Homo-oligomer: A and B are copies of this chain.
Amino acid sequence: MSKSSNKNWRDELHEIIYEADTPAGKLFDIILLIAILASIALVMLESIKSFDEKYHDFLNISEWVITILFTVEYIARIVTVKKPIKYITSFYGVIDLLSTLPKYLSLIFAGTHALVALRALRLLRVFRVLKLARYLGASNHLASAIKASRAKISVFLFAVLIAATIFGTIMYLVEGEEHGFENIPKSIYWCIVTLTTVGFGDIAPVTPLGQFIASVIMILGYGIIAVPTGIVSAEYTKQAGQAKTPLTNQPHRNIHLNSQSCANCLANDHKDNAEYCHKCGHNLHIN
C-alpha cells in the first residue's frame, strides 16, 4: 500500500498514527487504547476516597505518565498533518488537547485554594473517553438513520416537554408541597421521571387524585414511547432498502475500505486501490 522509498520520517509517523494497516500502526492503536482505558480507570479510582488515600502517589505518577503520553501523541499528530489548523480545530483535535491540559493546569492552580475549580479540572479528564469514539468508526449506516429521523424525534421530544410542563403544574396543584412536589420545576422533573418510565420513587403521589393523574401520565408515557421507536424503525428500514443499487436491485457490494488517512485533509475510508484522496485529490502515496 505504501512505498516507503519516497517517504521521510514525517510520512512514516503519519502512517503509524493515522492508519492501522502496518504493524507499527496497529501497535500504536493498541497502546493508545490501553492508555485511554487506563486513564479513565485512574479518574474513577481517584474518586474513591479510601483508594485515593492509600495509593495517592501511585495515582499521581500514573496520571503524569499518561498526560505526557497524550502530550506526545498530540504534538506528533500536529507535526505529521499537512494542515495542522484543521486538525487542531476538529472535534478530535479539541478532545486530544483537553486530554492533556488538566494535569498541567492543576500545577498552575495548585498554589491557590480554589478547590472546587481544581476538582472540576481533575474530572475534566473523563472526557478522554471521547477519544474512544475514533474506534467506533464504520457505523455510518446507523448514524445516518439517526440523523434522518432527528427532526422528527425533536418534534416528539418537544411535545413530551410541553406535556411534562402542563402535567407537572397540575401535579404541583393537586399534591402540593407537603407530598414532595415543592415547586413547579421539581414537579416537572417528577413528570419527566414518570413519562420516561424511569420512576425513581423519590417523589411519589400520595392523594387518590394525584395517583389517578399519575396513572394517566404513565399510560401516556407508555403509549408515546412507541412513536420515536416507530420513526427510527421506519427510517432504518428505508435506509436499508435504499442501500440497494437501483437497477439490479441487489445489496450494495461490500467494498473493502482500508484505514489509510489523507495527510492533507484527514479524510478516511479510502478504497484499497485508491491513488488519490476522494475528498481533496491529494496523492495518497506521496503523502
Q: A residues touching B (Cβ–Cβ < 8 Å)?
A: 40, 43-44, 47-49, 119-120, 123, 126-127, 129-130, 132-133, 136, 139, 141-142, 145-146, 152-153, 155-160, 162, 165-166, 169-170, 172-173, 177, 182-189, 192-202, 204, 208, 211-212, 214-215, 218-219, 221-223, 225-238, 240
Contacts and interface: CB of A to CB of B under 8 A. Distances in A.
A142 B152 contact: yes
B193 A218 contact: yes
A196 B219 contact: yes
A180 to B, nearest CB: 10
Contact of A126 (B130, B184, B229): B184
Contacts of A177: 49
Given A196-B221, A222-B225, A236-B231, A44 B120 contact: no
B236 A230 contact: yes
Contacts of A218: 192-193, 196, 198
A114 to B, nearest CB: 14
A184 B162 CA distance: 32
B169 A43 contact: yes
Given A155-B136, A229-B229, A196 B212 contact: no
A7 to B, nearest CB: 34
B200 A197 contact: no
A126 B188 CA distance: 12
Given A44-B188, A126-B166, A196-B218, 9 more contacts: A120-B173, A132-B158, A157-B223, A195-B222, A198-B199, A199-B200, A230-B232, A234-B236, A234-B240
A55 B80 CA distance: 58
23 contacts: A119-B173, A120-B173, A123-B169, A123-B173, A133-B162, A136-B159, A139-B155, A142-B152, A142-B227, A142-B231, A185-B208, A185-B212, A186-B211, A197-B199, A197-B222, A198-B198, A198-B221, A199-B199, A226-B232, A226-B233, A227-B232, A233-B234, A234-B236
Contacts of A146: 227
